[in-house]
Amino acid sequence: MTRRITIFDTTLRDGEQSPGIALRPDEKAEIARQLERLGVDVIEAGFAVSSPGDFEGVKAVAAAVERPTVASLCRTRKEDIDAAAEALAGARRSRIHIFLATSPVHMEKKLRMEPEEVVEQARWSVGYARASVDQVEFSCEDATRSDPHFVARVCCEAVRAGATTINLPDTVGYCLPSEYAEFILEVRRLCPELGSVTLSVHCHNDLGLAVANTLAGLQAGATQAECTVNGIGERAGNAALEEVVMALEVRRSSFGLKTGVVTREIGAASRLVQQLTGYAVQPNKAIVGANAFAHEAGIHQDGMLKDAETYQIMDPAQLGLVMTLPLGKHSGRHAFARACAEAGIQLDGEALAKAFRRFKQLADSGKNVTLSDVFEEVVLA
């Protein structure tokens, strides 16, 4: 049986926490509309109390979308929850997302709170938020560096106070996938109440493991994945939505999990987020990088021209992307002839051999070769 998981997109909140990104309310609304087309279930629009601009950003997203739930982040403070509730008032479906740290280092050094105070704050804030909205998510910040018994206790209190989603983040990207899965299983065991709510995973990429940890958490029974388009986010970023979704899609029989994401909208979502945030993805980024479906080596190009399954595990057209056979030092005669034909240059026999030799000479010199470089000389010769 395939279990449907919830995709909680936090591009507009954790993603926007990337240094240098500041989205205007109209830009947040534009991204939110694309996220709706993409089919995400929840859009975390911002942290309403953090600035007047973010308050307006949450409001703009709440007004822009119809189907997805719109969320705003809050600390366990009345003013945060009131601001979030006000900014979300225009949303069809809204969620207040409250976080409070549970790890010794955060409680002692940052919050300067005793564990009992943390339990009490969690209980109080969830109860207070529940009076304003139907959906309340509670996150145990830095959960993975916390005592699982304490995390379970906080979770149980939050569920009893009315939380509808509990999130167990790997806030500092410290966990290994096997450890994260064990942690999730242990907290589920210690707090059976989690069986009656959505259980969420939220992973950061400090060790490059955010996607692997997210998938491990889902395999351990989590029912919601928090991620961002292109993996943008605090420090090294969050789990990339497109990678999580496509891993679940391509390996569906291994995971037995599915999402509501419309995969053909992935390319457009990635491009829009790059354009409005100014954060370009690296060429070799999985799924959405410029090279993710580019085949340069001659043997690969030959294989691809015979059957795309030789070197591709996904069809780029299903992601709103295209396969390319860029011409370079390692390219072969087949791809070269194809590129010529596509440019309206029909060559065979000695003419093709001559042009191909010239192409290889130019490519060997380290230049980025175009067909006009090759034919300028061949035609003139």
Kind plus residue range of the DSSP H or E element containing 141: strand 135-141
99 contributes a contact to ligand KIV by CB under 6 A:
yes
* 88/214 Cα distance (integer angstroms): 28
Residue of 3, 125, 131, 190 lying closest to 139 (CA atoms): 125
CB closer to ligand KIV, 201 vs 378: 201
- Residues sharing a CB contact under 8 Å with residue 345, sequence separation 6 or more, in sequence order: 371, 375
Q: How far is the CB of 307 from ligand KIV (least distance, A)?
A: 43
Q: Closer CB to ligand KIV, residue 141 or residue 157?
A: 141
* Residue 313 beta carbon to ligand KIV: minimum distance, rounded to whole angstroms: 30
Residues in the chain: 381
CB 266 within 8 A of CB 287: yes
Out of 141, 157, 243, 265, the residue judged to bind ligand KIV by CB under 6 A: 141
- Interface with ligand KIV, residue 242, by CB under 6 A: no
Closest approach of ligand KIV to the CB of residue 300, in Å: 39
| Selection from 238, 230, 246, 235 nearest residue 201 by Cα | 238
* 298 belongs to the binding site for ligand KIV (CB under 6 A): no
Q: How far is the CB of 126 from ligand KIV (least distance, A)?
A: 14
Phi, psi of 378 (to 5 degrees): -65, -45
Span from 122-130, 164-172, 252-260, 274-282 in contact with ligand KIV (CB under 6 A): 164-172
CB atoms under 10 Å from CB of 343, counted, come to 12
Half-sphere exposure of 152 (CA within 13 A, CB side): 15
Q: For residues 57 and 332, which CB has a smaller minimum distance to ligand KIV in the complex? A: 57
Q: Say how many residues touch ligand KIV, by CB under 6 A.
A: 10
With contacts defined by CB under 6 A, name the span among 144-152, 163-171, 319-327, 329-337 that binds ligand KIV. 163-171
Q: Which of 5, 12, 14, 243 binds ligand KIV (CB under 6 A)?
A: 14
Asked if residue 200 binds ligand KIV (CB under 6 A), the reply is no
Q: Which residues pair with 351 in a beta bridge?
A: none
> With contact defined as beta carbons under 8 Å apart, do 166 and 137 qualify?
yes
Note whether 169 binds ligand KIV by CB under 6 A. Answer: yes
198 binds ligand KIV per the rule CB under 6 A? no
Rg (CA), the chain: 25
Give the nearer residue to ligand KIV in terms of CB position, either 14 or 265: 14
